[in-house]
Amino acid sequence: MGWWNAFLDRLTNSDASPPPTPLCLQWTAPIEPLLVTVDVPPELTVRDLNKATKSFSDARLIARDRNGNFTVYKAVMPGGTPAAAKRLSTGFSNAFLRHQVSVLSTLRHDNLVRLLGYTVTADLRVFLFEFATVGTLRDVLHGGPTQPQPGRSCSHPALTLSWAQRKRIALEAARGLEYLHEAAAVTH
């Protein structure tokens, strides 16, 4: 992350020197396989998801993929805990979905929402994630969704963010991406 800080400092301080050139390293020893044990999120029942999303009602709609691959609904779990139910199209194979569950269940980072559970049936494929209570990154940067949507819990008025706040948001987003690419080694 040093390069990112140097880049941001250069933007704010014209007298700063350029960041050092990174070194290229080659591994000479074989890498030992790493076995990781994680808590696999529970498989949820269709009945639980229908209850939590009011049968995937339009009133709970948060987002829709332009390509029709998924829709996201606000879910309210027993006890009142909010969650985001990402309903995938049936075009995804069971093998792909099992792989996604195994990858998503290993991710643990403050800047990423966690997988809470999932359901895979012949006609319903849903991942249940923590709910981002402040909305999406787009919501925060641009003052809410481009079109008001009924299930949105967050419809910010246009926020006026200082450059320091924008810099912090960019840094935190970069930390999440760095984790995905380096620590978790997620291919996407």
For the cut 80, the answer to whether the pLDDT of residue 49 exceeds it is yes
Residue type, 8: L
Which runs of E-coded beta strand occur in the chain? Answer: 61-64, 70-76, 82-88, 115-120, 125-130
pLDDT at 139: 76
pLDDT at 25: 33
For the cut 80, the answer to whether the pLDDT of residue 14 exceeds it is no
Confidence category of residue 39, pLDDT binned at 50, 70, 90:
low
pLDDT at 131: 92
pLDDT at 159: 60
Coil, strand or helix at 129: strand
Q: Which two tokens stand for residue 134?
A: 């402040």
pLDDT at 70: 92
pLDDT at 24: 33
pLDDT at 183: 81
Cα angle: 95, vertex 175, 39; to 5 degrees: 40
User: CA–CA separation, 164 vs 159, rounded Å?
Assistant: 14
Say how many Å lie between the first and final Cα of the chain, rounded: 21
87-130 residue pLDDT tens: 999 888 888 888 888 888 888 888 888 998 888 888 888 999 99
Q: Are strands 115-120 and 125-130 parallel, antiparallel or unpaired?
A: antiparallel
73-87 residue pLDDT tens: 999 988 898 999 999
Structural domains in the chain, CATH included, are: 40-183 (3.30.200.20)
pLDDT at 118: 87
**What is the largest distance, in Å, between two alpha-carbon atoms of the chain?**
61
Q: Which two tokens stand for residue 69?
A: 């691959």
Which runs of E-coded beta strand occur in 46-143? Answer: 61-64, 70-76, 82-88, 115-120, 125-130
User: CA–CA separation, 130 vs 127, rounded Å?
Assistant: 10
What mean pLDDT is reported for the chain? Answer: 74
Q: Which residues pair with 129 in a beta bridge?
A: 84, 115
pLDDT at 188: 61
Count CB atoms within 10 A of the CB of residue 44.
21
pLDDT at 20: 37
Express as a percent the part of the chain with pLDDT over 90: 20
Task: Kindly report which listed range (69-73, 79-83, 140-144, 170-174) carries the lowest average pLDDT score.
Answer: 140-144
Q: Which two tokens stand for residue 56?
A: 């995937």
Residue type, 49: L
Q: Which residue has the tokens 């301080």?
A: 13
- Laid out side by side, the sheet with 70-76 consists of 61-64, 70-76, 82-88, 125-130, 115-120
User: CA–CA separation, 180 vs 158, rounded Å?
Assistant: 30
